[in-house]
Copies of this chain bind each other. A is one copy, B any other.
Amino acid sequence: MTTSAPDGFQHLFAKVDELESHFINRLRRAIRIPSISAYSESREKCFEMAQMLQEEMTLLGIQVQLKDIGYEKHTGLKLPPIVLGRYGQDPKKPTILVYCHYDVQPAEKSDGWSTDPWEMTTEDDGRLCGRGTSDDKGPLLCWLNAIEAFQAAGMDVPVNLLFLFEGMEENGSTGLRAALEEEASQFLADVDAICISDLVWAGNTYPSIAQGLRGVLFYVLDVTGAEKDAHSGSFGGVLSEPMSDLASVMSSMVDSKGRILIPGIYDTVRPVTDEEKDQWEKLGLSEGDLVDSINGRSLHSDLIEGLVHRWRKPSLSLHRLENAAPGAGATTSIPAKVRGKFSIRTVPDMDSAEVDKLVQQHINTQFRSLGSKNSLQINCVHQSDWFFEDSSHWSYQAAINATRNVWDHEPGLSCEGGSIPIALDLKQVLKKNVLLLPIGRAGDGAHSINEKLDKIN
* Interface segment, one of A62-70, A83-91, A231-239, A404-412: A231-239
A250 at the interface (CB under 8 A from B): yes
Which residues of chain B come closer than 8 Å to A227, judged between CB atoms? 294-296
Name the residue among A216, A235, A336, A418 with the largest chain B CB count within 10 angstroms. Answer: A235
Contact of A240 among B293, B300, B334, B418 (CB under 8 A): B300
In contact, B320 and A331 (Cβ under 8 angstroms): yes
Given B245, B258, B306, B373, which contacts A241 in the complex, CB threshold below 8 Å?
B258
**A183 CB, nearest partner CB in chain B, Å:** 28
Any chain B CB within 8 A of the CB of A286?
no
Query: What is the chain B residue whose CB lies nearest that of A310?
Result: B238
Q: Nearest residue in B to A329 (C-beta to C-beta)?
A: B447
Contact with B along A399-423 (1 / 0, CB 8 A): 0000000000000000011110000
CB contacts (< 8 Å) of A51 on chain B: these are none
A339-357: CB near B (< 8 Å → 1, else 0) gives: 0010101000000000000
Q: Do residues B232 and A258 form an inter-chain contact, with CB atoms below 8 A?
A: no
- Within 8 Å by CB of A299, from B228, B239, B418, lies B239
Which of B240, B255, B293, B318 is the one whose CB lies under 8 Å from A370? B255
Q: Which of B256, B306, B320 contacts A371 (CB 8 A)?
A: B256
A196 in the interface (beta carbon within 8 A): no
The distance in angstroms between the C-alpha atoms of A447 and B299, with both chains bound, is 48
Q: A237-B314, A296-B239 are in contact. Are A372 and B320 (CB under 8 A)?
A: no
Contact of A270 with B by CB under 8 A: no
Q: Is A315 at the interface (CB under 8 A from chain B)?
A: yes
A333 at the binding interface (Cβ < 8 Å): yes
Minimum Cβ distance to chain B for residue A350 (Å): 13
Question: How many positions in chain A have a CB within 8 Å of any CB in the partner chain?
Answer: 75
Q: Check if A185 is an interface residue, CB within 8 A of chain B.
A: no
Contacts of A10-65 to chain B: CB distance below 8 A = none
Q: Is A115 an interface residue (CB 8 A)?
A: no
Given B218, B297, B335, which contacts A225 in the complex, CB threshold below 8 Å?
B297
Asked, given contacts A227-B294, A251-B247, whether A345 binds B257 with beta carbons under 8 Å apart, the answer is no
Instruction: From B300, B331, B332, give the contact of A373 (CB < 8 A).
Output: B300
Given contacts A234-B417, A244-B254, A247-B318, contact A341 B345 (CB under 8 A): no
In the complex, the answer to whether B258 meets A238 with C-beta atoms within 8 Å is yes
Query: Which residues on the B side are within 8 Å of A251 (C-beta)?
Result: 244, 247-248, 250-251
List the 3 closest pairs (A to B, CB-CB), nearest first.
A233-B418, A237-B315, A236-B315
Can you list 23 A-B pairs with a CB-CB distance of less than 8 A?
A226-B296, A230-B294, A233-B345, A235-B294, A236-B315, A236-B317, A236-B417, A237-B310, A237-B313, A237-B345, A238-B417, A239-B300, A243-B320, A244-B254, A244-B255, A244-B317, A245-B256, A247-B321, A248-B251, A257-B371, A296-B336, A319-B331, A319-B334
Chain A contacts to B: CB under 8 angstroms: 214, 216, 218, 225-241, 243-245, 247-248, 250-251, 254-258, 290-291, 293-300, 306, 309-310, 313-321, 323, 331-336, 341, 343, 345, 370-374, 416-419, 447-448
